[in-house]
Amino acid sequence: GAVVSQHPSWVICKSGTSVKIECRSLDFQATTMFWYRQFPKQSLMLMATSNEGSKATYEQGVEKDKFLINHASLTLSTLTVTSAHPEDSSFYICSARDPGGPYEQFFGPGTRLTVL
């Protein structure tokens, strides 16, 4: 099946620094990728939709300047958490849509971000 990777799997940073998370589709080209955030014991919340070659579409309430998304190629999308603060600590998960199927999304293993 299709594989999506994320890097790093976990990261610890100091408050005020920026952190970049990569999401890669390893064996297929993904024109659309999605970024989710998961709080402990809570659901995954869609943050934004990333389309290759165009600006990301953010969900209501998600700060565009805080969470920068770049979909530079058909296999790579990046999420940069700028000027991170402890409240940004969370589990970030990306998914990529298989263009061969209209609905299925393949998920990465997630990145645990801890801001001190």
Amino acid at 83: S
Q: Is 92 in the site for another protein (CB under 8 A)?
A: no
Q: Is 108 in the site for another protein (CB under 8 A)?
A: yes
Least CB distance from residue 32 to another protein, whole Å?
6
Q: Is 104 in the site for another protein (CB under 8 A)?
A: yes
Q: Is 36 in the site for another protein (CB under 8 A)?
A: yes
Least CB distance from residue 38 to another protein, whole Å?
9
Nearer to another protein, 48 or 81 (CB): 48
14, 50, 52, 104, 110 from 44: Cα distances, Å: 25, 17, 23, 16, 11
* Binding span for another protein by CB under 8 A among 14-22, 69-77, 78-86, 100-108: 100-108
Inter-residue contact 115 to 84 (CB < 8 Å): yes
> What is the number of other CB atoms lying within 10 angstroms of the CB of residue 106?
20
The rounded distance, in Å, linking the Cα atoms of 74 and 32 is 8
Among 42, 55, 63, 73, binds another protein (CB under 8 A): 42
